[in-house]
Amino acid sequence: MRMDQLPTPCYVIDEKKLKENLEILGDVREKAGCKILLAQKAFSCFYEYPLIGQYLDGTTASGLYEARLGKEEMGKENHVFAPAYKDADIKELGEICDHIIFNSFAQLRRHKDAVSGKSLGLRINPECSTQGDHAIYDPCAPGSSAGSAPLISSGYSKINLFGEEMVTSCGVAALALRTLRDAGIEVVLITTSDLDISLLVRGENEDSALNVLRQAFAA
């Protein structure tokens, strides 16, 4: 089929170029003695997964559906990371993923029993970055919701409020802060983005904070 005969819209992949890039990655993998995984968020053309799987060790996913795709179409090592996991999804993720990365100690404690026997990781925010000119995109900024800050190890816990409804709902942060205030729980730090709100509370208040917030948002 000639290029001008292709139906549109469609994606055309130069498989020769793809293979050349995969050979470079395969060479790096062999010489460095490391594993290299396909980030499906960047490239999820699963038709090419059998070819990619000849050179790479597996896939990374940012949620349940990407994890399923990696498992079903490549069938190699399967990693997943997300800012938060639904209780309804974590059991299946434990069945199809080899390595699961959590965004906070609270998440790790909440879900670790459901994924026992799997390799588990915790995303850490070192609060040290080289992105001086791109602060808005900096996941290492102090107070960023991307990973647990070192402050947490000093007796603090981070609570994430996460969901697409953050974009369309008003007053989410106000409700959270008012709920914690009424419960006598101090919020040490708050950070926000379009899709999540992160609250830093003292470690001894974590369970109480989670309980009152669940009640407030379930009402």
pLDDT in tens, 79-133: 999 888 989 899 999 999 999 998 887 888 889 899 988 999 888 766 666 566 6
What average pLDDT does the segment 142-147 reach? Answer: 60
Residue 136 in this model has a pLDDT that exceeds 90? no
Query: Token pair for residue 11?
Result: 């994606």
* In the block, residue with structure tokens 């793809």: 18
Q: What is the pTM of this model?
A: 0.63
Of residues 109 and 139, which shows the higher confidence score?
109
**Predicted local distance difference test score (pLDDT) of residue 99:** 95
Residue 149 in this model has a pLDDT that exceeds 60? no
What does the alpha-carbon distance between residue 33 and residue 66 come to, in Å, rounded to a whole number?
Answer: 26
**Predicted local distance difference test score (pLDDT) of residue 48:** 96
Backbone dihedral angles phi then psi of residue 75, each to the nearest 5 degrees:
70, 25
Average pLDDT score over the chain: 84
pLDDT per residue as tens digits for the range 21-40: 999 999 999 888 889 999 99
Residue 217 in this model has a pLDDT that exceeds 60? yes
What does the alpha-carbon distance between residue 113 and residue 61 come to, in Å, rounded to a whole number?
Answer: 21
Query: Token pair for residue 115?
Result: 């994924």
Domains of the chain: 12-123 (3.20.20.10), 126-219 (3.30.2130.10)
Residue 219 in this model has a pLDDT that exceeds 90? no
- List residues bridging with 187 in a β-sheet: 201
Query: Token pair for residue 214?
Result: 């669940």
What does the alpha-carbon distance between residue 59 and residue 66 come to, in Å, rounded to a whole number?
Answer: 9
**CA triplet 37, 100, 89: central angle to 5 degrees?**
115
